[in-house]
């Protein structure tokens, strides 16, 4: 069975986007070779990338561009070559290479994808997908990068989640640019 992970940036006050959906705070740190090496290695085993429409459109507008290839050639190549799934009721087609458009039941489709063979699945951004899936216990790992910034308002990844979701801390890592990686898995009591 494939594992489903989430990888997202959050602010000190817990937001993954500002109130207008902007995530640029996640890309405004000082240069940090350790951070850049982590990002390059972390994307090397992401398996299938999972997006909602908004994140998909943002990623598809950047990663296939010459600018992405120039700024981060290894990451851009991987992002473009990875298999991708986008969940959307409004898109007619997915134009980014290696992307499958799914319009069906989110939870059912994720359960079906997890039953397959191969590397895991990684949700990037896509807070509405995270919030819809988290209460059902199908997300196996949460990787959250806390960025050294406070927005004051915005959206959390867990908007609408009503019940407590017990998690266990499995890893922490501090970077020179001020980012802190926190990795969690579902509590053993909750599996």
* Residue 34 in this model has a pLDDT that exceeds 70: yes
Which stretches within 8-105 are classed as H helix?
Answer: 33-42, 53-62, 66-71, 73-81
pLDDT tens digits, residue range 100-159?
999 989 999 999 999 988 889 999 988 899 999 999 999 999 999 999 999 999 999 999
Longest dimension (CA), the chain: 47
Of the options 3.40.430.10, 3.40.50.720, 1.20.1050.10, 3.20.20.70, the CATH number for the domain spanning 4-190? 3.40.430.10
Q: How confident is the model at residue 188 (pLDDT cuts 50, 70, 90)?
A: confident
Q: How confident is the model at residue 13 (pLDDT cuts 50, 70, 90)?
A: very high
Q: What is the rounded radius of gyration, in angstroms, for the C-alpha atoms of the chain?
A: 16
Average pLDDT over residues 165-189: 91
Token representation of residue 69:
């290839």
Beta-carbon count within 10 A of 72 CB: 17
pTM confidence score:
0.90
- For residue 17, the 8-state DSSP code is B
Residue 95, class by beta-carbon neighbours within 10 Å (0-12 exposed, 13-18 middle, 19+ buried)? exposed
């Amino acid at each position: 069975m494939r594992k489903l992970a989430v990888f997202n940036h959050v602010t000190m006050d817990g937001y993954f986007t500002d109130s207008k959906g902007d995530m640029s705070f996640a890309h405004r740190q000082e240069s940090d070779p350790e951070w850049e090496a982590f990002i390059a290695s972390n994307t090397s085993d992401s398996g299938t990338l999972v997006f909602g429409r908004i994140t998909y459109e943002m990623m598809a507008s950047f990663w296939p561009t010459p600018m992405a290839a120039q700024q981060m050639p290894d990451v851009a190549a991987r992002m473009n070559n990875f298999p991708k799934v986008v969940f959307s009721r409004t898109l007619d087609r997915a134009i980014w290479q290696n992307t499958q458009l799914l319009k069906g039941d989110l939870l059912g489709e994720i359960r079906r994808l997890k039953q397959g063979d191969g590397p895991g699945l990684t949700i990037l951004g896509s807070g509405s997908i995270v919030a819809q899936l988290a209460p059902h216990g199908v997300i196996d790992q949460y990787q959250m990068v806390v960025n050294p910034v406070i927005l004051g308002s915005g959206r959390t990844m867990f908007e609408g989640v009503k019940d407590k979701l017990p998690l266990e801390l499995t890893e922490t890592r501090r970077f020179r640019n001020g980012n802190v990686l926190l990795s969690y898995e579902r509590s053993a009591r909750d599996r």
